[in-house]
Amino acid sequence: MTEFGQYCTPLLDAITGYTQTDHAPFYTPGHKHGRGAAARLVELHGIAGLQADLPELPGLDHLGAPTGVIQAAQQLAAEAFGADRSWFLVNGSTGGVAAAMMATCQPGDKIVLPRNVHQSAIAGLILTGAVPLWLDPVYDAASDLAHGLDPTAITAVLAAHPDTKAVMIVHPTYYGVCSDVAAIAQICHAHNIPLLVDEAHGAHFAFHADLPQSALAAGADLVVQSIHKTLGAMTQAAMLHQQGQRVSADRVSQGLQLLQSSSPSYVLMASLDAARQQMATQGTALMTQTLQLADQARSRICQIPGLAVLSPEQAGSPGFAALDRTRLTVTVAQLGITGFIADEVLQDLGVIAELPDLRHLTFIVSLGNTATDIDRLVQALKTLSQKSPVLTQPSQASLVPVPYPSSGCSTPLLSPRQAFYAAQETVPIDQASDRISAELVCPYPPGIPILYPGERIMAPQLAHLQAVLKAGGMISGCADSTLKTLQVVLNQ
Amino acid sequence: MTEFGQYCTPLLDAITGYTQTDHAPFYTPGHKHGRGAAARLVELHGIAGLQADLPELPGLDHLGAPTGVIQAAQQLAAEAFGADRSWFLVNGSTGGVAAAMMATCQPGDKIVLPRNVHQSAIAGLILTGAVPLWLDPVYDAASDLAHGLDPTAITAVLAAHPDTKAVMIVHPTYYGVCSDVAAIAQICHAHNIPLLVDEAHGAHFAFHADLPQSALAAGADLVVQSIHKTLGAMTQAAMLHQQGQRVSADRVSQGLQLLQSSSPSYVLMASLDAARQQMATQGTALMTQTLQLADQARSRICQIPGLAVLSPEQAGSPGFAALDRTRLTVTVAQLGITGFIADEVLQDLGVIAELPDLRHLTFIVSLGNTATDIDRLVQALKTLSQKSPVLTQPSQASLVPVPYPSSGCSTPLLSPRQAFYAAQETVPIDQASDRISAELVCPYPPGIPILYPGERIMAPQLAHLQAVLKAGGMISGCADSTLKTLQVVLNQ
Q: Does the pLDDT value for residue A130 go beyond 80?
A: yes
Question: How does B60-99 read in b/e, with b if 16+ C-beta sit within 10 Å?
Answer: bbebbebeebbbbbbbbbbebbbbebbbbbbbbbbbbbbb
Q: What are the b/e assignments for B446-471, b being 16+ CB within 10 Å?
A: bbbbbbbbbbebbeebbebbeebbeb
Smallest CA–CA separation between B457 and chain A, in Å?
21
> What local confidence, expressed as pLDDT, does residue B413 receive?
86
Q: What is the pLDDT of residues A254-304, one digit of tens each?
A: 999 999 999 999 999 999 999 999 999 999 999 999 999 999 999 999 999
Q: Cβ(B128)–Cβ(B99) under 8 Å? A: no
A265 vs B23, B120, B234: nearest CB: B234
Q: pLDDT band for A395, please (50, 70, 90 cuts).
A: very low
Query: Please, is B289 exposed, middle or buried when counting C-beta atoms within 10 Å of its C-beta (0-12, 13-18, 19+)?
Result: middle
Q: Which among A30, A286, A377 has CB closest to B232?
A: A30
Say if residues A75 and B71 touch (Cβ distance below 8 Å).
Answer: no
The stretch A29-55 carries a mean pLDDT of 96
Give every residue of chain B whose pLDDT is below 70, as ranges: 1-3, 390-410, 445
Contact B364 A58 (CB under 8 A): no
Q: Chains A, B: CB contacts under 8 A, how many?
A: 370
DSSP label at residue B24? E
What is the average pLDDT value for chain A, to the nearest integer?
93
Judged against a pLDDT cut of 50, whether residue A1 lies above it is answered with no
Which of B11, B15, B20, B45 to mutate against chain A (most A CBs within 10 Å)? B45
pTM (two decimals): 0.96
What pLDDT does B175 receive?
96
The pLDDT value recorded for residue A448 is: 81
Instruction: List CB contacts (< 8 A) between A9 and chain B.
Output: 40
Across the interface, which of B258, B263, B351 has its CB nearest the CB of A23? B351
A176-235 tens-digit pLDDT: 999 999 999 999 999 999 999 999 999 999 999 999 999 999 999 999 999 999 999 999
The reported pLDDT for the residue numbered A343 is 96
Could you tell me how many residues make up chain B? Answer: 492
**How many Å lie between the alpha carbon of B338 and the closest alpha carbon of chain A?**
17
ipTM field: 0.95
pLDDT for A396: 47
Q: How far is A130 from chain B (nearest CA, A)?
A: 12
- A144 — pLDDT class (breaks 50, 70, 90): confident
Give me the sign of the Cα torsion angle B268, B269, B273, B276. positive
Identity at A399, one-letter amino acid code: L
Name the residue facing B263 among A107, A235, A343 (closest C-beta).
Answer: A235
Contact at CB, A354 and B22, closer than 8 angstroms: no
What distance in Å separates the CA atoms of residue A207 and residue A21, rounded to the nearest whole number? 36
Q: Which residues of B touch A266 (CB under 8 A)?
A: 235
Residue A409 confidence class, pLDDT cut points 50, 70, 90: low
Maximum alpha-carbon separation in chain B: 72
